[in-house]
Chains A and B, each alone.
Chain A
Protein backbone atom coordinates (compact mmCIF):
# COMPACT_ATOMS: atom_id res chain seq x y z
CA UNK A 1 0.00 0.00 0.00
CA UNK A 2 1.34 3.38 -0.91
CA UNK A 3 1.71 6.09 1.65
CA UNK A 4 -0.91 8.76 1.59
CA UNK A 5 -0.09 12.34 2.26
CA UNK A 6 -1.87 13.66 5.28
CA UNK A 7 -1.71 17.31 6.10
CA UNK A 8 -1.08 17.08 9.81
CA UNK A 9 -1.16 20.79 10.39
CA UNK A 10 -4.83 20.95 9.47
CA UNK A 11 -5.80 18.41 12.09
CA UNK A 12 -5.91 19.82 15.58
CA UNK A 13 -5.50 16.97 18.02
CA UNK A 14 -8.15 16.75 20.69
CA UNK A 15 -6.74 16.21 24.16
CA UNK A 16 -9.17 14.87 26.70
CA UNK A 17 -7.83 14.44 30.21
CA UNK A 18 -10.03 11.44 30.92
CA UNK A 19 -10.19 9.91 27.47
CA UNK A 20 -11.76 6.86 25.98
CA UNK A 21 -8.67 5.07 24.69
CA UNK A 22 -10.46 2.06 23.31
CA UNK A 23 -9.76 1.62 19.61
CA UNK A 24 -12.62 -0.78 18.99
CA UNK A 25 -15.93 0.98 18.45
CA UNK A 26 -18.53 0.63 21.14
CA UNK A 27 -22.29 0.64 20.91
CA UNK A 28 -24.21 3.15 22.96
CA UNK A 29 -25.65 0.30 25.03
CA UNK A 30 -22.18 -0.91 25.98
CA UNK A 31 -21.85 2.30 27.94
CA UNK A 32 -24.27 0.85 30.48
CA UNK A 33 -21.23 -0.81 32.07
CA UNK A 34 -19.99 2.63 33.07
CA UNK A 35 -23.40 3.58 34.39
CA UNK A 36 -23.18 0.61 36.76
CA UNK A 37 -19.62 1.43 37.86
CA UNK A 38 -20.74 5.04 38.39
CA UNK A 39 -23.72 3.90 40.47
CA UNK A 40 -21.49 1.89 42.81
CA UNK A 41 -19.13 4.85 42.97
CA UNK A 42 -22.01 7.17 43.88
CA UNK A 43 -23.15 4.83 46.66
CA UNK A 44 -19.60 4.82 48.07
CA UNK A 45 -19.54 8.63 47.98
CA UNK A 46 -22.70 8.85 50.05
CA UNK A 47 -22.05 5.96 52.44
CA UNK A 48 -18.50 7.11 53.23
CA UNK A 49 -19.94 10.63 53.63
CA UNK A 50 -17.47 12.04 51.11
CA UNK A 51 -20.32 14.22 49.84
CA UNK A 52 -20.51 15.95 53.20
CA UNK A 53 -19.45 19.58 53.44
CA UNK A 54 -18.47 18.81 57.04
CA UNK A 55 -16.05 16.04 56.03
CA UNK A 56 -14.30 18.49 53.68
CA UNK A 57 -14.17 21.09 56.47
CA UNK A 58 -12.70 18.49 58.85
CA UNK A 59 -10.08 17.71 56.22
CA UNK A 60 -9.02 21.32 55.66
CA UNK A 61 -9.02 21.96 59.42
CA UNK A 62 -6.90 18.81 59.99
CA UNK A 63 -9.49 17.64 62.49
CA UNK A 64 -10.24 14.24 61.04
CA UNK A 65 -8.23 11.60 59.22
CA UNK A 66 -11.25 10.36 57.27
CA UNK A 67 -10.74 12.10 53.90
CA UNK A 68 -6.97 11.60 54.01
CA UNK A 69 -7.62 7.92 54.64
CA UNK A 70 -10.05 7.68 51.72
CA UNK A 71 -7.82 9.45 49.19
CA UNK A 72 -4.61 7.83 50.47
CA UNK A 73 -6.06 4.31 50.32
CA UNK A 74 -7.53 4.98 46.88
CA UNK A 75 -4.12 6.09 45.57
CA UNK A 76 -2.36 3.03 47.03
CA UNK A 77 -4.95 0.69 45.49
CA UNK A 78 -4.94 2.57 42.18
CA UNK A 79 -1.15 2.67 42.02
CA UNK A 80 -0.83 -1.04 42.77
CA UNK A 81 -3.46 -1.88 40.14
CA UNK A 82 -1.84 0.24 37.45
CA UNK A 83 1.58 -1.26 38.17
CA UNK A 84 0.15 -4.80 38.01
CA UNK A 85 -1.62 -4.04 34.72
CA UNK A 86 1.62 -2.71 33.24
CA UNK A 87 3.87 -5.43 34.67
CA UNK A 88 1.72 -8.32 33.50
CA UNK A 89 0.43 -6.52 30.41
CA UNK A 90 -3.16 -7.27 31.38
CA UNK A 91 -5.47 -6.63 28.44
CA UNK A 92 -8.85 -4.92 28.38
CA UNK A 93 -12.11 -6.83 27.81
CA UNK A 94 -11.78 -6.06 24.10
CA UNK A 95 -8.25 -7.48 24.15
CA UNK A 96 -6.47 -4.16 23.81
CA UNK A 97 -3.34 -3.05 25.61
CA UNK A 98 -4.12 -0.58 28.38
CA UNK A 99 -2.82 2.86 27.47
CA UNK A 100 -2.64 5.69 29.97
CA UNK A 101 -1.49 9.01 28.55
CA UNK A 102 1.18 10.91 30.46
CA UNK A 103 0.22 14.33 31.77
CA UNK A 104 2.36 17.27 30.77
CA UNK A 105 3.10 20.07 33.15
CA UNK A 106 1.78 23.55 32.56
CA UNK A 107 1.13 26.40 34.97
CA UNK A 108 -2.59 25.71 34.72
CA UNK A 109 -2.14 22.89 37.19
CA UNK A 110 -1.04 25.46 39.76
CA UNK A 111 -3.41 28.36 38.93
CA UNK A 112 -6.37 26.13 38.13
CA UNK A 113 -5.56 23.87 41.05
CA UNK A 114 -5.61 26.79 43.48
CA UNK A 115 -8.92 28.08 42.05
CA UNK A 116 -10.49 24.63 42.30
CA UNK A 117 -9.17 24.24 45.86
CA UNK A 118 -10.81 27.53 46.90
CA UNK A 119 -14.08 26.36 45.36
CA UNK A 120 -13.78 22.88 46.87
CA UNK A 121 -13.67 24.29 50.41
CA UNK A 122 -16.68 26.57 49.78
CA UNK A 123 -18.93 24.07 48.06
CA UNK A 124 -17.69 21.00 49.91
CA UNK A 125 -17.67 19.22 46.58
CA UNK A 126 -15.40 18.16 43.82
CA UNK A 127 -17.19 17.37 40.56
CA UNK A 128 -17.92 13.73 41.50
CA UNK A 129 -19.68 14.42 44.79
CA UNK A 130 -21.71 17.20 43.10
CA UNK A 131 -23.70 14.54 41.25
CA UNK A 132 -24.11 12.38 44.36
CA UNK A 133 -25.20 15.37 46.47
CA UNK A 134 -27.97 16.18 44.00
CA UNK A 135 -28.97 12.50 43.94
CA UNK A 136 -29.12 12.51 47.74
CA UNK A 137 -31.77 15.19 47.60
CA UNK A 138 -29.72 18.33 48.24
CA UNK A 139 -31.47 20.08 45.40
CA UNK A 140 -29.83 23.47 45.93
CA UNK A 141 -26.63 21.84 44.68
CA UNK A 142 -28.11 21.80 41.18
CA UNK A 143 -27.25 25.53 41.14
CA UNK A 144 -23.66 24.67 42.10
CA UNK A 145 -23.61 22.08 39.33
CA UNK A 146 -24.99 24.51 36.73
CA UNK A 147 -22.40 27.07 37.84
CA UNK A 148 -19.64 24.48 37.47
CA UNK A 149 -20.79 23.84 33.89
CA UNK A 150 -20.70 27.59 33.24
CA UNK A 151 -17.23 27.75 34.82
CA UNK A 152 -16.07 24.99 32.49
CA UNK A 153 -17.53 26.86 29.53
CA UNK A 154 -15.79 30.09 30.59
CA UNK A 155 -12.48 28.24 30.71
CA UNK A 156 -13.08 26.98 27.17
CA UNK A 157 -13.95 30.47 25.99
CA UNK A 158 -10.89 32.17 27.55
CA UNK A 159 -8.39 29.30 27.38
CA UNK A 160 -6.13 31.11 24.89
CA UNK A 161 -5.91 34.24 27.01
CA UNK A 162 -4.92 32.43 30.22
CA UNK A 163 -1.31 31.78 31.26
CA UNK A 164 -0.38 28.13 30.84
Chain B
Protein backbone atom coordinates (compact mmCIF):
# COMPACT_ATOMS: atom_id res chain seq x y z
CA UNK B 1 0.00 0.00 0.00
CA UNK B 2 2.70 2.44 1.06
CA UNK B 3 4.57 1.61 -2.17
CA UNK B 4 1.50 2.57 -4.16
CA UNK B 5 1.11 5.84 -2.24
CA UNK B 6 4.74 6.68 -2.99
CA UNK B 7 4.10 6.60 -6.74
CA UNK B 8 3.01 9.87 -8.36
CA UNK B 9 -0.77 10.11 -8.01
CA UNK B 10 -3.08 10.03 -11.01
CA UNK B 11 -4.81 13.29 -11.89
CA UNK B 12 -8.23 11.79 -11.19
CA UNK B 13 -7.23 10.86 -7.62
CA UNK B 14 -5.86 14.35 -7.00
CA UNK B 15 -8.88 15.98 -8.65
CA UNK B 16 -11.36 14.02 -6.55
CA UNK B 17 -9.51 14.79 -3.30
CA UNK B 18 -9.14 18.49 -4.13
CA UNK B 19 -12.79 18.66 -5.20
CA UNK B 20 -13.87 17.07 -1.93
CA UNK B 21 -12.11 19.85 -0.03
CA UNK B 22 -15.00 22.13 -1.06
CA UNK B 23 -17.81 20.21 0.73
CA UNK B 24 -15.48 19.20 3.56
CA UNK B 25 -14.80 22.84 4.49
CA UNK B 26 -18.44 23.81 3.99
CA UNK B 27 -19.75 21.04 6.21
CA UNK B 28 -17.06 21.25 8.88
CA UNK B 29 -17.89 24.87 9.59
CA UNK B 30 -19.34 26.90 6.72
CA UNK B 31 -15.90 27.77 5.40
CA UNK B 32 -15.49 28.92 1.81
CA UNK B 33 -12.50 27.37 0.08
CA UNK B 34 -9.86 29.88 -1.03
CA UNK B 35 -6.17 29.94 -0.28
CA UNK B 36 -4.90 33.34 -1.40
CA UNK B 37 -7.01 35.01 1.32
CA UNK B 38 -4.47 33.61 3.79
CA UNK B 39 -1.95 36.12 2.41
CA UNK B 40 -4.36 38.95 3.21
CA UNK B 41 -4.86 37.63 6.75
CA UNK B 42 -1.08 37.56 7.20
CA UNK B 43 -0.95 41.24 6.18
CA UNK B 44 -3.88 42.06 8.46
CA UNK B 45 -2.27 40.26 11.38
CA UNK B 46 1.31 41.44 10.93
CA UNK B 47 1.37 44.83 9.19
CA UNK B 48 -2.07 46.36 8.66
CA UNK B 49 -0.48 49.85 8.57
CA UNK B 50 -3.89 51.50 9.02
CA UNK B 51 -4.87 50.41 5.50
CA UNK B 52 -8.62 49.95 5.38
CA UNK B 53 -8.31 46.75 3.37
CA UNK B 54 -6.47 45.13 6.27
CA UNK B 55 -8.56 46.52 9.12
CA UNK B 56 -10.83 43.61 9.97
CA UNK B 57 -11.08 40.87 12.52
CA UNK B 58 -8.59 38.44 10.97
CA UNK B 59 -8.92 36.17 13.99
CA UNK B 60 -12.37 35.18 12.80
CA UNK B 61 -10.69 33.98 9.60
CA UNK B 62 -7.90 32.17 11.44
CA UNK B 63 -9.16 28.83 10.09
CA UNK B 64 -7.59 29.79 6.75
CA UNK B 65 -4.18 30.25 8.40
CA UNK B 66 -4.50 26.84 10.09
CA UNK B 67 -5.34 25.41 6.68
CA UNK B 68 -2.23 26.80 4.97
CA UNK B 69 0.03 25.73 7.84
CA UNK B 70 -1.47 22.29 7.18
CA UNK B 71 -0.52 22.57 3.50
CA UNK B 72 3.06 23.32 4.58
CA UNK B 73 3.02 20.30 6.94
CA UNK B 74 1.57 18.16 4.16
CA UNK B 75 4.51 19.21 1.99
CA UNK B 76 6.95 18.14 4.71
CA UNK B 77 5.20 14.79 5.30
CA UNK B 78 4.90 13.95 1.60
CA UNK B 79 8.51 14.80 0.82
CA UNK B 80 9.98 13.15 3.94
CA UNK B 81 7.95 9.95 4.11
CA UNK B 82 6.11 9.47 0.84
CA UNK B 83 8.55 10.60 -1.79
CA UNK B 84 8.60 8.94 -5.20
CA UNK B 85 11.53 6.45 -5.37
CA UNK B 86 11.54 6.55 -9.17
CA UNK B 87 12.88 9.11 -11.59
CA UNK B 88 10.85 12.30 -12.01
CA UNK B 89 9.24 12.35 -15.45
CA UNK B 90 8.65 15.45 -17.58
CA UNK B 91 6.90 15.31 -20.95
CA UNK B 92 9.56 14.96 -23.66
CA UNK B 93 8.25 17.89 -25.71
CA UNK B 94 8.37 20.12 -22.64
CA UNK B 95 11.95 18.97 -21.99
CA UNK B 96 12.86 19.81 -25.57
CA UNK B 97 11.26 23.29 -25.38
CA UNK B 98 12.83 24.11 -22.03
CA UNK B 99 16.28 22.89 -23.09
CA UNK B 100 16.13 25.44 -25.91
CA UNK B 101 15.49 28.11 -23.27
CA UNK B 102 18.45 26.93 -21.22
CA UNK B 103 16.97 24.71 -18.51
CA UNK B 104 19.28 21.77 -17.86
CA UNK B 105 18.00 20.07 -14.71
CA UNK B 106 14.93 17.85 -15.08
CA UNK B 107 15.60 15.57 -12.12
CA UNK B 108 13.29 17.15 -9.54
CA UNK B 109 9.93 18.92 -9.39
CA UNK B 110 11.63 22.32 -9.50
CA UNK B 111 14.64 22.84 -11.81
CA UNK B 112 17.71 23.69 -9.76
CA UNK B 113 18.84 25.99 -12.61
CA UNK B 114 16.24 28.44 -11.35
CA UNK B 115 14.78 27.50 -7.98
CA UNK B 116 17.92 27.10 -5.87
CA UNK B 117 18.89 29.13 -2.82
CA UNK B 118 22.07 30.27 -4.62
CA UNK B 119 19.92 32.19 -7.08
CA UNK B 120 18.19 34.33 -4.45
CA UNK B 121 20.45 37.34 -4.93
CA UNK B 122 20.76 37.07 -8.69
CA UNK B 123 18.76 38.44 -11.62
CA UNK B 124 17.09 35.01 -11.89
CA UNK B 125 16.01 35.27 -8.29
CA UNK B 126 14.70 38.78 -8.82
CA UNK B 127 12.53 37.65 -11.73
CA UNK B 128 11.42 34.16 -10.69
CA UNK B 129 11.06 34.76 -6.94
CA UNK B 130 10.52 38.46 -6.27
CA UNK B 131 8.69 39.72 -9.37
CA UNK B 132 6.87 36.39 -9.86
CA UNK B 133 5.80 36.34 -6.22
CA UNK B 134 4.69 39.98 -6.30
CA UNK B 135 2.49 39.24 -9.32
CA UNK B 136 0.98 36.17 -7.64
CA UNK B 137 0.13 38.10 -4.48
CA UNK B 138 -1.02 41.31 -6.14
CA UNK B 139 -2.88 39.56 -8.97
CA UNK B 140 -4.79 37.09 -6.81
CA UNK B 141 -6.02 39.81 -4.49
CA UNK B 142 -6.91 42.12 -7.37
CA UNK B 143 -8.83 39.24 -8.96
CA UNK B 144 -10.42 38.36 -5.64
CA UNK B 145 -9.11 34.83 -5.56
CA UNK B 146 -6.78 32.28 -7.06
CA UNK B 147 -7.07 28.84 -8.58
CA UNK B 148 -8.76 27.50 -5.44
CA UNK B 149 -11.18 30.36 -4.77
CA UNK B 150 -12.16 31.06 -8.36
CA UNK B 151 -11.33 28.04 -10.55
CA UNK B 152 -12.46 25.41 -8.04
CA UNK B 153 -14.77 27.00 -5.46
CA UNK B 154 -16.25 29.65 -7.77
CA UNK B 155 -16.83 27.34 -10.73
CA UNK B 156 -18.30 24.73 -8.35
CA UNK B 157 -20.87 27.36 -7.40
CA UNK B 158 -21.44 28.36 -11.06
CA UNK B 159 -20.15 31.91 -10.63
CA UNK B 160 -19.62 33.77 -13.92
CA UNK B 161 -17.02 36.16 -12.37
CA UNK B 162 -15.00 33.09 -11.42
CA UNK B 163 -15.12 31.80 -14.99
CA UNK B 164 -13.90 35.19 -16.23
CA UNK B 165 -11.11 35.14 -13.63
CA UNK B 166 -10.11 31.58 -14.53
CA UNK B 167 -9.93 32.42 -18.24
CA UNK B 168 -7.80 35.47 -17.36
CA UNK B 169 -5.41 33.30 -15.30
CA UNK B 170 -4.97 30.98 -18.27
CA UNK B 171 -4.50 33.83 -20.78
CA UNK B 172 -1.83 35.37 -18.50
CA UNK B 173 -0.08 32.02 -18.14
CA UNK B 174 -0.07 31.33 -21.88
CA UNK B 175 1.22 34.85 -22.59
CA UNK B 176 4.05 34.49 -20.10
CA UNK B 177 5.04 31.02 -21.29
CA UNK B 178 4.97 31.68 -25.01
CA UNK B 179 5.54 35.41 -25.45
CA UNK B 180 7.56 36.70 -22.50
CA UNK B 181 9.53 33.75 -21.13
CA UNK B 182 11.74 33.37 -24.25
CA UNK B 183 12.96 36.94 -23.62
CA UNK B 184 13.45 36.36 -19.90
CA UNK B 185 15.72 33.38 -20.52
CA UNK B 186 17.84 35.44 -22.93
CA UNK B 187 18.89 37.57 -19.96
CA UNK B 188 20.92 34.76 -18.40
Question: CB within 8 Å of B: which residues of A?
Answer: 12, 14, 16-23, 26, 28, 30-61, 63-67, 69-79, 81-82, 84-85, 90-94, 96, 98-106, 108-128, 130-141, 143-157, 159, 162
A–B complex contacts, Cβ < 8 Å, 20 sampled: A34-B66, A35-B66, A39-B74, A47-B9, A57-B97, A57-B177, A60-B178, A63-B94, A82-B26, A92-B26, A112-B139, A113-B171, A116-B138, A127-B140, A135-B72, A140-B115, A151-B141, A156-B43, A156-B53, A156-B54
Q: A-side binding surface: helix, strand, loop or mixed? A: helix
| B155 adjacent to A78 (CB under 8 Å) | yes
Number of interface residues, chain B, beta carbon within 8 A: 136
Using Cβ atoms and an 8 Å threshold, which residues of chain B touch A12? 52
> Which residue of B30, B38, B70, B117 contacts A37 across the interface (Cβ within 8 Å)?
B70
Q: Per-position contact with A for B102-115: 1 when CB-CB < 8 Å, else 0?
A: 00001001110011
Shortest CB distance B181–A (Å): 7
> Which residue of A32, A38, A63, A157 contacts B71 across the interface (Cβ within 8 Å)?
A38
| A93 adjacent to B27 (CB under 8 Å) | yes
- Between A and B, how many residue pairs show CB distances below 8 Å? 547
Given A48-B11, A141-B115, do A134 and B72 touch, yes or no (CB 8 Å)? Answer: yes
Using Cβ atoms and an 8 Å threshold, which residues of chain A touch B33? 18, 78
| B94 adjacent to A17 (CB under 8 Å) | no
